[in-house]
Copies of this chain bind each other. A is one copy, B any other.
Amino acid sequence: MTNRFAARRRALLRKIGENRIGCLLVTRPASWYYLTGFTGDSGALVVSRNGTTLITDGRFTTQAREETSGVRIIQQSRSLAAAAGEFLKGARGRVGYDAAHVTVGQLAAMRKAAGARVRWVASQGYVEGLRGLKDAKELATMRLAAVLAGRVLEGALKLLKPGVREIEIAAEIEFQMRQLGASGPAFETIVAFGERSAYPHARAGAKRLRKNELVVLDLGAILAHYCSDITRTVVVGRASTKIRQWHKSVQEAQAAAIGAVKAGASCGEVDAAARKVLAGYRLDRYFVHSTGHGLGLEVHEDPRVAKGQKQVLEPGNVITVEPGVYVPGVGGIRIEDDVAVHATKTEVLTRIPRDLIEI
């Protein structure tokens, strides 16, 4: 365990060294977990050739000492940003920080505390780039997390009966994931009935299910720190011809996008593959979001699988592929699976059927 974290820090040091960054400030909890094993949610991690230092508050110092190895722990008692700035006062070379995560106020406080000599450089994506390339052990965990999510989804289908409320299904889903070993949901479980399925990010509410309504279930579990994310759309009763046609189109779009996933392909190509199929059915204007996102320690991480994204897929990437069609006032359909990129093949981690289910 310890060696794994230390090896990641060494890989990071090589990367930042190549870019003439002397010290990297790591502010995302998932990234400091990746580098140290620390699971607290308040802190600032500084990685440099002189060692790794975690600045955190009194709620987390005991825990940080037990969870990490080879990491100096500093307990701060005032502002975290001021403490991080103070610590970086004597830093040599350029100090990298994540401009997509550090707030304007935090940077100002750090600059003030660190003094005028420190050279701050916006330098995004170093840790996130490493995190995107999952090793065999991480992939093994993600397989289990994906299978777990599929089992929970299949279990939830059995509870879908006219009269049941969205929120009851969501509660049951999150309860069952923990029964199966998850530490919790990777995001707020989406359960949307009828017209509400036309909201891609509906919050489960008090609505009761009626016969022949669409049901979108979108859920994810965190298992041993890694996230899964799966969506299926079903009809409780009989689907209309139109719904069947839409579902078939989304299924075809998803298959095309999964087919486009391979090492060397760009994320934009994967997105375009889904969009092209939907355009063939004149449904592309109802596909109002991007095709997918990276998945790992966070439920949304690099790479983004969206229109025009030039980032190239590499072995070890895990992404979601989740096209959808949403017609205001009628309903929505989304099908989502988790896909791992290997050198010579694509592996779908989520294993349950995708055909339209009529319950």
B99 to A328, Cβ gap below 8 A? Answer: no
Residues on B with C-beta less than 8 A from A205 are 183
Query: Considering residues A62, A97, A170, which has the most beta carbons from chain B within 10 angstroms of its beta carbon?
Result: A62
Which A residues from 219 to 253 make CB contacts under 8 A with B? none
Which A residues from 169 to 213 make CB contacts under 8 A with B? 170-172, 174-175, 178-179, 183-184, 188, 198-205
Number of copies: 2
Distance in angstroms from A7 CB to nearest chain B CB is 25
Distance in angstroms from A247 CB to nearest chain B CB is 19
Residues on B with C-beta less than 8 A from A198 are 62
Distance in angstroms from A228 CB to nearest chain B CB is 17
A199 to B108, Cβ gap below 8 A? Answer: no
Alpha-carbon separation in the docked complex, A97 to B103 (Å): 11
Residues on B with C-beta less than 8 A from A326 are 62
Residues on B with C-beta less than 8 A from A139 are none
Residues on B with C-beta less than 8 A from A288 are 57-59, 61
Query: Does A40 reach chain B (CB closer than 8 Å)?
Result: yes
A178 to B183, Cβ gap below 8 A? Answer: no
Once A104-B107, A105-B124 are accepted as A-B contacts, the answer to whether A178 and B184 lie under 8 Å apart by CB is no
Residues on B with C-beta less than 8 A from A62 are 198-199, 326, 328
CB 8 Å contact bits of A97-131 with B (1 = contact, 0 = none): 10111111111100000000000001010000000
A200 to B59, Cβ gap below 8 A? Answer: yes
Give residues in A with beta carbon < 8 Å to B.
Answer: 39-41, 57-63, 97, 99-108, 122, 124, 167-168, 170-172, 174-175, 178-179, 183-184, 188, 198-205, 288-289, 326, 328
Given contacts A59-B288, A103-B103, 20 further A-B contacts (CB under 8 A): A58-B289, A59-B200, A59-B289, A62-B328, A63-B199, A63-B201, A99-B104, A99-B105, A99-B108, A104-B122, A105-B122, A167-B178, A168-B178, A168-B179, A171-B175, A171-B178, A172-B175, A175-B175, A183-B203, A184-B188
